[in-house]
């Protein structure tokens, strides 16, 4: 076997980037250990999932149908559930195999392609599939997501047969779009950043792009193979058609998840609740202090201003009649978050209370100093330091408990089409942030959300982007961790903490920002570049 070539692919493919800051979406990192399973409910002796063996989820659909977005979302969710999942983008293999930027010959997808093109296609496919088998059969992988066009029925039939030979079950997942408006929007959002379309009217560029796909892949057949297991997602989740799927719990769980996802763009903002009055225990559920009320107003002002600016920027990019997205506010049923949300209610936004979003229960640690906890529960502290994510103090919740409790929120977060402000306790923000940015379980208890920053997360096809927005003019004493945060001694995650990326990546949202007068800062912009790199991505 040509292991050199495989290694070459590994080195060149973006998903093999091994370290990243927690400010960069870690969904494409290769986990070093099985430490990225925030909500794992149970595991099996064999290490296989739900006893259902190895599974390949094979994507089907033309470019600009949101396949990559679906693959990445699904991987995010499955990994969060504790399933060992990896995405294999055929495009990565093409780029590593084809010289000069990965452009394939014009007839690459033609049914009557030239022998050279057929050979090239076979070579790329073979490498990708060998990696899939290797990962599933030798690296304890559970679900491989194979992201490619897979345009023909005959190709899909033989693929299922080939996977079966390797003892891998196949579930096809097609994204089918026949709504022209949706197609144009997708193409506009993701694909037309390419230099080819510079200075062109966005609609015109999108139309041109879609026409190119049609000539490039003339033989696409939508799924209708009665004997195959498939899920057809029609018009980005408006309708699902589900055929002959004999896959236990997992396939239904996937459909459950997919019925809650969409590919429209929106932003999620994470903000803290204001500071409470001095009686700040978990059980007391105290109201906001005077500073807390002021914070709520300043924060809401800042957020509104920021959204205005983003909308203006969007209009400049995509035309004057781009509507401003609606804004929804979620808070927990705790008094402080409710009162903080009032600042938005007063401005006419809709506020929803979610009981699942109440803060982590500190149990016996309530009102104890770190020193007192160490003195009273030395054994527990020792256990906690070994596994700060899963360990629970007496009567307390662990972060893992919190993650399991937050699963409905995660699905509703995916479902939300408006921009969303989440006002919650730091513990809740940590777990939700970890889902969206895929942080390791060792890092989650350490993530910090100072009050003078709004964290904005924008989902993108390849990886999510996080930005921070400074809230100016706050009393510095109200900025750090909330007084009712659990004073549980959390160890430094040491070697587990990903090293900061050189040149701008920050190790956690807590890193101090030097200049308070800076405009909203874009911390990382990898996703856009990653997507730009994939403009011609047609496998």
| Residues classed as catalytic | 147
CA 285 to chain CA centroid, nearest Å = 32
Angle of the 67-80 helix axis to the 426-437 helix axis, nearest 10 = 130
Residue 521's DSSP bridge partners are: 468
Residue closer to other proteins (CB basis): 125 or 404: 404
Length of the chain: 539
Residue 444 DSSP one-character state: G
Tokens of 448: 């910090």
Q: How many CB atoms lie within 10 A of CB 348?
A: 7
Which position has the token pair 């997360």? 457
Give the closest residue to 94 by CA, choosing from 86, 102, 105: 102
Residue 168's DSSP bridge partners are: 54
Element (H, E) at 335: helix 335-346
The strand order across the sheet containing 419-424 reads 350-353, 327-331, 419-424, 268-272, 453-458, 465-470
Q: How far apart are CA 536 and CA 539, in angstroms?
A: 9
Tokens of 123: 């070579």
Residue closer to other proteins (CB basis): 51 or 161: 51
Q: How far apart are CA 536 and CA 177, in angstroms?
A: 19
Q: How far apart are CA 29 and CA 96, in angstroms?
A: 18
Which position has the token pair 């035309």? 319
Q: How many CB atoms lie within 10 A of CB 12?
A: 14
Angle of the 335-346 helix axis to the 290-318 helix axis, nearest 10 = 50
Nearest distance from residue 391's CB to other proteins, in Å?
9
Q: How far apart are CA 106 and CA 124, in angstroms?
A: 16
Contact 34, 43 (CB under 8 A): no
Give the closest residue to 98 by CA, choosing from 121, 71, 74, 126: 121
Nearest distance from residue 153's CB to other proteins, in Å?
17
Contact 478, 466 (CB under 8 A): no
Question: Would you call 108 exposed, middle or buried from its count of C-beta atoms within 10 A (0-12, 13-18, 19+)?
Answer: buried
Phi, psi of 2 (to 5 degrees): -85, 80
Q: How far apart are CA 501 and CA 236, in angstroms?
A: 35
Q: How far apart are CA 57 and CA 150, in angstroms?
A: 12
Which position has the token pair 């396949």? 67
Provide DSSP, 94-122: HHHHSSSTTPPPTTTT-TT--HHHHHHHH
Q: How far apart are CA 434 and CA 428, in angstroms?
A: 10
- The residues that touch other proteins, with contacts defined as CB under 8 A, are 41-45, 50-51, 237-244, 248-249, 252-253, 255-256, 259-260, 285, 333-335, 338, 353-355, 363-364, 392-395, 404, 408, 411-412, 415
Residue closer to other proteins (CB basis): 66 or 237: 237
């Amino acid at each position: 076997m040509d292991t050199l070539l495989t290694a070459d692919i590994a080195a060149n493919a973006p998903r093999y980037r091994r370290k990243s800051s927690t400010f960069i979406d870690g969904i494409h990192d290769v986990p070093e250990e099985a430490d990225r399973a925030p909500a794992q409910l149970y595991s099996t002796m064999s290490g296989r999932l739900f006893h259902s063996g190895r599974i390949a989820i094979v994507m089907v659909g033309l470019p600009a149908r949101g396949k990559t977005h679906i693959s990445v979302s699904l991987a995010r969710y499955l990994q969060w559930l504790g399933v060992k999942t990896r995405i294999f983008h055929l495009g990565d293999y093409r780029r590593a195999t084809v010289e000069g930027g990965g452009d394939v010959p014009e007839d690459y997808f033609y049914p009557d392609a030239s022998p050279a093109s057929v050979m090239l296609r076979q070579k790329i496919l073979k490498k990708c599939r060998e990696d899939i088998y290797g990962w599933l059969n030798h690296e304890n992988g559970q679900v491989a997501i194979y992201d490619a066009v897979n345009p023909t029925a005959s190709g899909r039939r033989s693929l299922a047969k080939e996977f079966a030979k390797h003892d891998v079950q196949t579930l096809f997942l097609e994204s089918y779009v026949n709504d022209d408006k949706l197609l144009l929007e997708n193409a506009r959002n993701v694909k037309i950043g390419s230099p080819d379309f510079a200075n062109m009217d966005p609609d015109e560029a999108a139309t041109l792009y879609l026409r190119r796909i049609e000539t490039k892949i003339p033989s696409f057949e939508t799924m209708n193979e009665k004997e195959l297991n498939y899920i057809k997602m029609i018009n980005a989740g408006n309708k699902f058609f589900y055929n002959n799927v004999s896959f236990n719990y997992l396939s239904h769980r996937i459909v459950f998840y997919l019925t809650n996802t969409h590919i429209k763009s929106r932003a999620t903002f994470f903000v803290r609740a204001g500071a409470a009055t001095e009686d700040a225990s978990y059980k007391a559920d105290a109201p906001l202090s005077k500073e807390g009320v002021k914070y709520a107003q300043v924060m809401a002002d800042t957020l509104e201003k920021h959204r205005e600016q983003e909308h203006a920027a969007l209009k400049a990019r995509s035309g004057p009649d781009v509507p401003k997205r609606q804004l929804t506010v979620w808070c927990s049923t705790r008094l402080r978050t409710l009162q903080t949300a009032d600042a938005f209610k007063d401005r006419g936004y809709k506020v929803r209370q979610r009981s699942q979003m109440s803060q982590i229960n500190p149990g016996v640690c309530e009102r104890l100093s770190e020193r007192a906890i160490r003195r009273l529960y030395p054994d527990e502290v020792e256990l906690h330091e070994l596994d700060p994510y899963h360990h629970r103090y007496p009567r307390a919740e662990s972060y893992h408990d919190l993650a399991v409790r937050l699963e409905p929120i995660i699905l509703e977060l995916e479902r939300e089409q408006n921009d969303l402000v989440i006002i919650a306790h730091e513990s809740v923000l940590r777990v939700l942030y970890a889902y969206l940015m895929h942080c390791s379980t060792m890092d989650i208890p350490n993530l910090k959300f100072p009050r003078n920053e709004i964290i904005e997360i924008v989902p993108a096809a390849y990886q999510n982007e996080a930005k921070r927005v400074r809230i100016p003019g706050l009393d510095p004493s109200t900025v750090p961790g909330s007084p009712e945060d659990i004073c549980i001694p959390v160890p430094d995650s040491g070697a587990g903490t990903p090293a900061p990326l050189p040149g701008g990546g920050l190790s956690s949202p807590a890193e101090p920002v030097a200049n308070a007068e800076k405009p909203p800062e874009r911390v990382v912009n990898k996703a856009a570049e990653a997507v730009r790199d994939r403009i011609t991505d047609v496998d």
